Structure 1
Amino acid sequence: MREMESRIATAIHRLGGDRGNDPALTDLETTWTFGELASQAAAVAAQLSEQPDSSSVGLLTDRHLSSVAAVIGTLWSGRGQVVQDVDEPVERLAELFARAGVGVVLDATGNGPGRVGDHEVLALRKPIADPAQWIPVRQVGGNAQCSVQFTSGSTGRAKGVVKSFVTYETNLDVWGTYSALLEPKRTAVAMPLQFAAGISPVVFGLTTGRFTMLVDPRVHSTALLLASLGEYGIERLHATPSFLRSLSADRALFGNYDLRKVREIWLTGEPAVWGDVALARERFGPLVTVVSNYSATEALGPRASTVIGPHGALGEGRLPLGRPVTPDAVRLDLTGRTDGSGELIYRGLLSDGYLDDPELNASRYGVDPDGVPIWRSGDLVQIDAEGVIHLRGRIDDMVKINGKLVEPAEAERVLTALPGMRNVIVLPRALPSGRQQLVAHLETDGSLTPAVVRAALSRELPANLIPSVLVQHESLPLNDRGKVDRGALSSLLVKPWREANPEPVTDRLVEAVLSVARLVLEIDDIGADESLLDLGMDSLGAIEFVALVNEAGEGHLEANDLVAANTCRLIAERLRAGHSRRRTRSTTFNDDGRERPLFFVAGGGGFPLTYRSLAMELGVEQPLVVLEQRGLRSRAWPERTVAAAARHHLREVRRLQPAGPYLLAGHSYGGIVAHCIAGMLHRQGHDVSLIVLDSVHSVRRELFVPEAIRTRQSSLAIHAVKWVKWRSVLAWRRLAGLATPIGSVERFGVFFQWALHALNRHTVEPLDVPMLAICVSDGTAREWEGHLTVSITRVSGDHLTMLQPPHVSDVAQAMGTFVSRAG
C-alpha cells in the first residue's frame, strides 16, 4: 500500500502555525493554545525519530495536556502506539507492551516508573517553540501498525485491538460522516485516553480546531467541574452514564453555576437508561439533547444512534441502542435463540483484528456470503417493528442458575425502570458449593424498600432471574473510565439490604443453624428471622443446607421442612420439637386455608419447593398438597408404573381427605399420575376435578431407544443382542441410581429417569371428569383434544418457567377459575 501521513498530526501541525494563539485544550490546571500543543507534539516526534528502531511506542498517560501531545506526537513520527494509564501496575504494563512489540516507552506524565520490563522509561523533552524547527509529519505505509488498544477480555486476558494507519484514518472519516463528533463545539471529555471512547473525541475533535476540556473524575471535585463547564463555555459533555449520575448527585450545587451553554450530553461506555435523560434535563435545563452512539473498539465509527432532543418523549428502563446508521451496518444472528433476541453482527468497516490471538480472531471476525467483513459483537439484542435496536444483555455475561442460562441484564432492565432507582449492576456470585447466584448492587434515592424492589422483580421475572441478594450502596464505585467498577463490587463482602438490623442471637441452636446458613449462602450477616428463601436459597441450596444441618447432629431436618420453617429461628424450633423425624408422603402449602385442598402430583424428580410460587399465587385460603415420588427422599423402592404411583398417592389423598369431592392436579409426569388417580376415584363413585400442567403422555421413543436399535440397522440376530444388551444397561443404571445419597442432586435426576420409564409404559384413556389442560404457548395440547371433557388454556413461559414468576400468575388464575366453576 502507498505511503501516507497522519492527517491528525498534519492538522495539528497546520493549526499550530495558522491558529497558534487560539486556545486548544485545558486539564483544569493549565490551558494550552494550538501553538503550545503543536510545540510539545513536535518535540515528541523529534525525540522518537532519533530512536534506532521503528517499533511501536508505549505511552504512559493520564488526563493532562502532555498526554494528548504525546499521542499526537507519536502519530507525527509515523510510529505505532500503545496508550496506557500511568497508574496501571508495572507488571501489567510490561506484559501488554511485550505483546504489542513495543520498543520505546515514553512517560508523558512525569510520574511514571523508571523501567517497564526490559525498557528504560524516557521522559518528554521540552517543547520546540519555533515552528521552523518542527520536523515534517513522517510518511508511513498505510498497512503499518498504528495503534493497539487493549480492552477487557471475558477470559481475563486483555484483548488487543489492532488498527493500521489507513484504518485509523478511516475511523476519523466514518465518525465524521455518521455522527456529529467532529462538529466544532467546545467539548469536555470525562474518559481516559487509552480507550477509544476517550481518545476519539479528544484527538479527532482537535483536528477541527475546537476547544477541549479534559476531565478526571478521580481528581476533580463536582464543584470544580461545574464551575469549569460554565467558565470555559462548554457546549458538549462526553461521559459515561455512571459519571453523569455521580456528577448530578448534589442537586443544590447546580444552582450555583451557569450551565446554559451545555446543550449536548453524549453518553458512552455502558448502557444508559431513560432516567439519565430525565436527569440531564433536570440538571442542565430542558433544552439539552442527549446522544447515545453505539459502537465498539473493534468497529470503525458508530453502528447505531439514539438522539433525544429537548422535546423528545421519555420512555422507561434502558435507552435503546438506536437505529442503524445505514441499513446494512448490522444484522441479527438468531441461531439457537427462541425468544426473538439474537447476537448483533457488525458489518462493513472494522479494525484489523486482535493481537496475537488467532483463535479469537477466527471466532469473532469473518466474512458474510456477500463478501462483507463482519465482527460478532457478543451483544444480545432485539430489533422492534420500527427498526430500533434494544440491548438485552451480553452472551459472555450469561451465567447458569439452577441449570438454566440467565442474563443478568434482564434483572437490571426491571430494576432500572423503578422510580427512585439511580444505578444498578447485577453480578453473578459463586458460592462455596460451586453454585451461582445473582447479586443486585443498588443505588437509590432513599424512597425504595427491599420489599418494594422484590415485589417488582417477582411481578416481571421468573425465579431464576431474580437476584438472590439485594445490596444497597450510597454510591456505586466508579473506575478510571467513569464506569461502575464491577471488579470492586465483586470483591466486597455481601451485606443484604434490609429495613432494620437483625436482633442479637443468644440461642445456641439458632446460632448453629445460622452458621450453616452463612456457609451455604456465603452471607455473613443473616438475621435469625429472615427468610432463607428470600435470601436466595433455591432448591439445590436447600438440599445442601439440610445435609449440613443433619451432619451437625443437632436433629433431623427434611428439605420440605423449609416450606413451613424458612427462618433459622423456626428451623431451630423444628429441630428441638423433632417434627422432622417422621417422613411424610406429602408437603402442604397454605396449611391453614379454608378451601378444599388441591392435591398436586409433582413432576418426575420434582421437589416440593418448586411449587412454592404457585402456592403463593393461589392464595393463603387454598391449601396445596404436593405429592412426590415414592423413594425420592427415603430408601423405599420407587414405583415402576404410573398406576402403581397413582395407587401410592391415592392412599395419601384418602388419608388427608376421606371423602370427596376431590381436586387433583399435576405437572408434567405428575399430571399423568393425577389423571390415573382421578380415574380410580371416578370409578369408585367420587366426584373429581382434574388439572394437568403441560403434561404429555406419549413420550418419544428416541428419548429412550438409540437410533441404531430403533431403526434396526443390523441383522435380526445382532439386532436382538443389541436390544437385550441395551435394556440390561438401562435397567442397571436405574437400579444403580437408587444408591445415590438421599437428598443429592444426582438422586433427583435418577428419579426423573424412572418417571420417563413409567410414562413410556403407560396409556392414557379418556376420562369423563371435568378437566383443565394448561399448556405453554409454544407447546402442544393435541394429545388432550380428543378428551371431550377437557378445556385447554395456554400460558406464557416454558415447561419449567411456567411455574415461576411472572408466568405462574397466569397459571394460578386459570386454575382458580376452573376450581371455582367446579364448585
Structure 2
Amino acid sequence: MEVVLNNTTIDYPKEKPLHSLVEDSAATFPGNIALRFHDTTLTYSQLNNTANQLAQELLNNGVKPGDIIGIALDRSAELIISLLAVLKSGAAYVPLDPEYPKDRIEFMLDDSAATILITSTKYKGHFASNTTEVLVEEALTASKNYPAENLKVDVTGQSLAYVLYTSGSTGKPKGVQIAHHSLVNLMYSFQKTPGITSKDVTLAVATISFDIAGIDIYLPLCSGAQIIMADSITAKDGRALLDIVRNEGVTILQATPYTWRMMLEVGWNEPLPLKVFCGGEALAKDLAEKLIPLCKELWNLYGPTETTIYSIIKHITDPNDITIGWPVDNTQVYILDEEKNNLVNGEIGEIFIGGVGVAWGYLNRPELTAERFIDNPFTPGEKIYRTGDLGKLKPDGDIVYLGRIDHQVKVRGYRIELGEIEHNLGKQEGIKQAVVIAREDTPGIPRLVAYVVLESGQTGVPEKSMLDKWDEALLAVLPEYMMPDDYVLMDVIPSTPNGKIDRKALPKPDYSHINRSEKYVAPRTSNEKLVTDIWEEMMGLNKISIFDNFFQLGGRSLVAVKIMARLEQETGKRLPLATLFEHSTVEKLAARLEIDAEAITWDSLVPIKPQGSKMPLYIVHGAGLNVLLFNALAMNMDDEQPVYGLQAKGLNGIDEPLDVMEEIAANYVEEIINHDPVGPYAVAGYSLGGLIAYEMAKQMLAMGKDLKMLAMFDTYADQTQRYDSPVKRTIDNTWMFIKQVAYTPVLFVQDPKRTIEYKSREVGRRIQKVFKKLFPDKVKKKEGFSAYTDDIHDRSLTAQKNYLLEPVNVTIELFRAKKKTFYMNDFKFLGWKPFALKGVNVHDIPGEHNTIFAPPNDKQFAKVLQECLDKAAKQN
C-alpha cells in the first residue's frame, strides 16, 4: 500500500524559479489576456514587461537576492505586478493583507526583518517598522524607462520565494518559508491534474495572506490562462461572485466551503461549465451533494501551508465517498502512530507529509521547526511535516481526513490556532482562565465560543460592557475571523481524570442570551417585524430586540448572504452586504428598506442633493461629524444646485479613522476627484471642517485642479501650538484666558440666558474631561455609533492640534455667524487674513456658531451662499 501510495516521483524543472514559468507564458502567449481587475486589462507581454521594469527599480533601490520584502497592497493589478517583481529581483516576499490588524502586520514585518515594504499612497506611513517604504505608484512611474526584457538575476529553484505567516499557538504568528522549486513542482502537477490550459478563465478570490492565493495567481499565469481578480468586497459577496462566473465565462474557481455555501445560498441552481476547487477546510457531504450536479468537476484539495499549499487532491464524483485522495507529484504521505509506525491497513493515525513541497521550516523558530519538521524515518536525510491531522487509508489507497489532533481548527476557511485566541484573551484584566473551541450547533455555521473563568467568580452571561472591552482588545491584535462569536462565564473549566481540559464537556451556550442589548424592544413596524423574523430564523435565536446588533449576535458573512437573499425575495430590494455594517441593528436595517438607496452611504462622499446642472458644492463635516446638518441648507438652495457632504472615515465603525490632517484631506480630495475628475470645484467646511477644507484646497491647487471657491462656515483659523516653545505656549494661553474672562461680561449683557448656558456647558465639559482622566474606570462607556464617533472626534482634534497652517494663494469666502458666544482674537476675519493670500471676503449670516443651519437661519444662509457660488462659477 505504501509503495503504491507514494509512487509519485516525476521529473520537473527543479532549478527553475517560479517566475520563469510566467516568463515562458509571456513568450508563448504574449497577446493573451493575463489579468483583469475592474477596468484594467493586461496581456502577458504587458504584465511580464511591467514586472521586469519594477524589478529593476527595486534592484536600483538596493534590493538584493535573498532579501525579504513586505507587500501590503489592496487587491489590484499592482499587487500581482509587485509579487512578480519581487521574485524576479531575487528577493522573497511577505504577503500582508492591509485589512489585517496594524499590530499584526507590524509584527510580521519586524519578525521577518523585511528590508523594504511595498505599499500604496493609501497606506503611506501607516505601518511602523524598520523597513524602507516604497510606494508602488511612484515605483511604477520611475520604472517606465527601464528595459522591459527579463532580468538576469541569479535566482534558482532553491531560492526562497515567500514567507507566509500562519496563526501561532503561543500567541505569535509563525512565518513559513517556501522555496521556488516547491511552487514550481505544484504548478506542474496541477497543470496535469486537476488540469488547466491557456483557454481557461479563473476567478481569484483568496486574500494574499492565505496560502491558497498561490493557486489563484500562479497556476493560471504559469499556464497562459486568464485571471479575473475580485476586489475584497466582491470576494465576500456570494451574489457578486456568482454573477461574475455566469457572465464572464469563468471555468475554474478555487474557494473554501464557506464561499461555495454563500454562492449556493443566493440562487445558484443551474449547471455551469465550472471546475470547482474546494480547499481550506473539510468538504462536507451535504455541500458535495449540492455542488456535483451544478459544476463540471468537483475537486477536494488538502494541504497545510508548511507543505506548499496543497499536497493531496481528489476528484469527487460521489458525495457518499468523500476523501482527500492521493498525493500530488513528488509528494509522500504517511499515516503514523505515536511510535512513527506506518499504518497501512486502515488504522487511524496522524498525517505526515514529505517530498519537495516541504517548507524550510519556520523563520526564527528553530524549536518549533524541530518539533514539526522531523527526520523522515523512511527516507534518511529528508524531512517530513507532522500536520496534526488525523487520517486513515482506504483499501484503494485513498486518504480519509478525520479532523484535528490538537486544537487547531478551520473556521470560515481560515486555519485558526485556538491557543492564540486563548493567549490574548487570557491577558485581559479580571480573566483567570480562557478556553476557546469551535462549535457547529447549527449545521454549516461554525462559531467560535470562548469559555471564561473570572477572578470575581461571576458566571452566566457576561455584561455588555465586559464584552465590548474584550472585543476591542482582541480586535487590536487578531483578525476579525479569529474573534469569538460567543462568550460563556463559568466557575470552573471541566477537566478529564488525568487533569487535562475536557473540551467535549464544555456546555452549549445559551444563544438566546448571548450579546443582546440590555433591554428587549419588540418590532414596531412591518419592516422591523420582517427583519426580526428573518434574523431569528437564519441565526437560530429567539426574541431579537430591534436594538440588537447583528455582529454582536455572532452574525457573519454566510448568514448575511442568507438574510439579504431572503430580504430581496420578500421585498424585491437588493441590498449590498456592506449594508449590514452600516445598518447593523434590526431598527436600522428596517429603516434602510424604507429609504432610497442613494440617501445613505458610509463612503466619505455623501450625496445630499446630487441633482442639478450648477457647479457642485462639497461641504466638510464639523466636529460633530454630522453631514445631516447640511440637508436644510441644501434644500433651500437653487433647484439646479448640487450639494455633497463629506463625512469622516470610520463612521461605519469598521474603517480606521484618520488622525493626520493631510491624510484626512487627501481622502476627501480623492473621493471628490473620483466622483468628478474635471471640475470646477467649490469646497466648504464647517467649524473643524473648515481647516480640513483649507488643506483640501491646498492639495487641489497643487494638483492643478480648477478650484473656484473655498468657503469657511464660521471656522476660526486655529494655529497649532505644537511648534511653539513651552514658554510661548504658557504666555499665549494665559493671555487668552484673561481676555476670555474679561469679555464674558460683554456677552452677558448682550444675551444673559445664552451666555449662562454656554459657559455652564463649557465648565461641564472641562469637569467631565478631568473626571475621565482621574477616574477612567467609572466613566460609562459609550456604545455603537456614539463610541466610534467619539473616537473619530478625538482623532480629528489630534489632527487639528498637529496641523500647521501655511499661507495659500487662495481667496476665502468667510460665512461668519453674527452672534458671538465666546471671545476670539480676530472677530472680523476669524484669523484667516494671514493665510488667504488673495484675501478674505466676509459674509454675515444669522445665528450663532451652532445654529446657522437651523430654521429660520438656514434660508438666509442658503441665499447668501447661492449668490456667492453663482458669482464664483462665472469667474475665469
Q: Shorter chain as normaliser: what TM range?
A: 0.3 to 0.5
Which is greater in Rg? 1
- TM-score between both structures, scaled by the size of structure 1: 0.47
